[in-house]
Amino acid sequence: MAKIVNWQNATDAELLAASVERNQQAFAALVQRYHVPVYSVAWRLNGGHADTDDIAQETFLKLWKNPSQLREAAALKGWLIRVASNLVMDRYRRKPMLELDYAQDVPDSMMTAPAMLDQSHVTKVIDAAIASLPDRQKLALALVHFEHMTNIAAAAAMEVSVDALESLLARARRGLKEKLGSGGRQLLATLASQGE
Amino acid sequence: MKMVDFERDTELSDTELDRLLQHASTPMPRSDFEARLLTKLTFVDNSNKVIAFPQRKRPSWWLAGLPLAASLVLGIWLGASGTTVDFLPFSTESAVQNDTALLSTQSADDFSFLIEDNLS
């Protein structure tokens, strides 16, 4: 393989091949490219728990320990997200999510001023509503809505059919509408009153 | 029917839900995420280079018992054949021989005075 000096412009395949040869610079470029989506998905799945950082780091360490386990470089992002989501689910299967404080109950979206006027309250209500969804619905929503992955790519990352992914998405959206209830409109009104 | 209409009115539309979802948190990893991870990579690589010491085999218990058993057998054999004296040091050997000679020259009657003295 030709020696690449600027790893930032290298393709995923080149970075992976260099990582197999224990090139830390190439691996660092891979981390720089994908650490935000991996962290973000793990954060959504575990409701913003403090160990999100550990999970994201562990995901990349798994890749570093054996980069050749990934056969297709094109599937790298999906693979990383799948590993991260499995780590989250495994961790909380062993240790129920009792430690999550605000994921337990969705804050009342019908609250009156001044709480309603607080932008952070709106964010907190939405985050909590997402966190209260079942894991797979949450993952489907995170991949498609927040990571802007196509349905095909998200289905591949979750190892489900596209139909199954669409079903999960539909149920997630329905669940969110039910959880937010009519207070959702008030949240929108709050945002509108703040000029957003 | 009116109830159904009411529910439809209160439920968010897809557009409204999308607008709300835009206000969800945007989680960001810590700025030193990469640096910490790269430190761990070095640690992982070094831990792979560690060669474990070969485990030393513990000696079997019967190996320790072997010399003891041999010593016991030898003792029995020597005692049975009466050649124990041959293995004793010279000074001990002569003392034993002298005592044996003394016993053989004196008859049992020679010791009668000792018994009588003790009884009196």
Same domain, yes or no: A105 and A189: yes
Residues of A in contact with B7 (CB under 8 A): none
CA-based nearest residue in chain B for residue A119:
B23
Residues of B in contact with A126 (CB under 8 A): 20-21, 23-24
Task: Determine which helix (DSSP H) or strand (DSSP E) holds A190, and give its type and residue range.
Answer: helix A183-193
CATH code for the domain of A112: 1.10.10.10
pTM: 0.68
Q: Which of A8, A25, A43, A120 best tests the B interface by mutation, with the highest count of B CBs <10 A? A: A43
Q: Does residue A1 lie within any of the structural domains?
A: no
Q: What percent of chain A has pLDDT over 90?
A: 53
Say whether A39 and B28 touch across the interface (CB within 8 A). yes
Say whether A122 and B10 touch across the interface (CB within 8 A). no
* Per-residue pLDDT at B50: 64
* Per-residue pLDDT at B82: 74
Lowest mean pLDDT among A33-37, A80-84, B54-58: B54-58
Highest mean pLDDT among A11-15, A93-97, A180-184, B110-114: A11-15
* Per-residue pLDDT at B108: 55
Same domain, yes or no: A111 and A184: yes
pLDDT for residue B84 is more than 80 = no
Q: Does residue A57 lie within any of the structural domains?
A: yes
CA-based nearest residue in chain A for residue B17:
A177
Same domain, yes or no: A93 and A121: no
Containing domain of residue A154, as a range? 101-193
What average pLDDT does the segment A123-138 reach?
A: 92
Q: What is the pLDDT of residues A100-121, one digit of tens each?
A: 444 445 555 555 555 555 778 8
Same domain, yes or no: A149 and A122: yes
- Distance in angstroms (rounded) separating the CA atoms of residues B30 and B45: 24
CA–CA min distance B8, chain A (Å): 10
* Per-residue pLDDT at A92: 77
Q: Which is higher by pLDDT, A132 or B60?
A: A132
Burial A102-116 (b: 16+ CB within 10 A, else e): ebeebbebebeeeeb
Q: Considering A72, A97, A122, which residue would you say is the last residue of a domain?
A: A97
CB A109 within 8 A of CB A181: yes
Work out how many CB contacts closer than 8 A connect A with B: 90
Same domain, yes or no: A110 and A159: yes
Chain A (50-109) residues lying within 8 Å, Cβ to Cβ, of chain B: 52-53, 56-57, 60-61, 64-65
Q: Does residue A3 lie within any of the structural domains?
A: no
Q: Which residues contact A90 (CB under 8 A, 6 or more apart)?
A: none
Same domain, yes or no: A18 and A78: yes
Same domain, yes or no: A153 and A76: no
Say whether B24 and A39 touch across the interface (CB within 8 A). no
Q: Which of A187, A190, A193, A194 best tests the B interface by mutation, with the highest count of B CBs <10 A? A: A187
Q: Rounded to 10 degrees, what is the CA torsion of A119, A121, A125, A130? A: 60
Residues of B in contact with A123 (CB under 8 A): 23-25
* Per-residue pLDDT at A95: 63
Same domain, yes or no: A14 and A92: yes
Helix axes A76-94, A52-65, angle to 10 degrees: 130
pLDDT for residue B2 is more than 50 = no
Same domain, yes or no: A88 and A30: yes
- CA nearest A25: which of B113, B34, B87? B34
Of A24, A43, A196, the CB nearest to B27: A43
Q: Which is higher by pLDDT, B83 or A62?
A: A62
CA–CA min distance A48, chain B (Å): 8
Q: Which is higher by pLDDT, A118 or B102?
A: A118
Q: Would an 8 Å CB–CB cutoff place A147 in contact with chain B?
A: no
Looking at the structure of chain A, the number of domains it has is 2
Q: Does residue A2 lie within any of the structural domains?
A: no
Q: Does residue A132 lie within any of the structural domains?
A: yes
Q: Considering A97, A114, A144, which residue would you say is the last residue of a domain?
A: A97
- Distance in angstroms (rounded) separating the CA atoms of residues A155 and A143: 9
Looking at every residue in chain A, the average pLDDT score rounds to: 84
Same domain, yes or no: A93 and A118: no
Same domain, yes or no: A180 and A134: yes
Q: Does residue A180 lie within any of the structural domains?
A: yes
Lowest mean pLDDT among A50-59, A127-136, B93-102: B93-102
Sign of the torsion formed by the C-alpha atoms of A44, A45, A50 and A51: negative
Of A22, A27, A122, the CB nearest to B23: A122
Same domain, yes or no: A86 and A134: no
pLDDT interval class at A74 (50, 70, 90):
confident
What average pLDDT does the segment A56-66 reach?
A: 93
Q: What is the pLDDT of residues A151-180, one digit of tens each?
A: 999 999 999 999 999 999 999 999 999 998
Q: Does residue A161 lie within any of the structural domains?
A: yes
CATH code for the domain of A24: 1.10.1740.10
Q: What percent of chain B has pLDDT over 90?
A: 18
What average pLDDT does the segment A50-77 reach?
A: 89
Q: Considering A81, A97, A113, which residue would you say is the last residue of a domain?
A: A97
What average pLDDT does the segment B21-37 reach?
A: 91
Q: Does residue A125 lie within any of the structural domains?
A: yes
* Per-residue pLDDT at A99: 45
* Per-residue pLDDT at A63: 93
Model ipTM value: 0.78
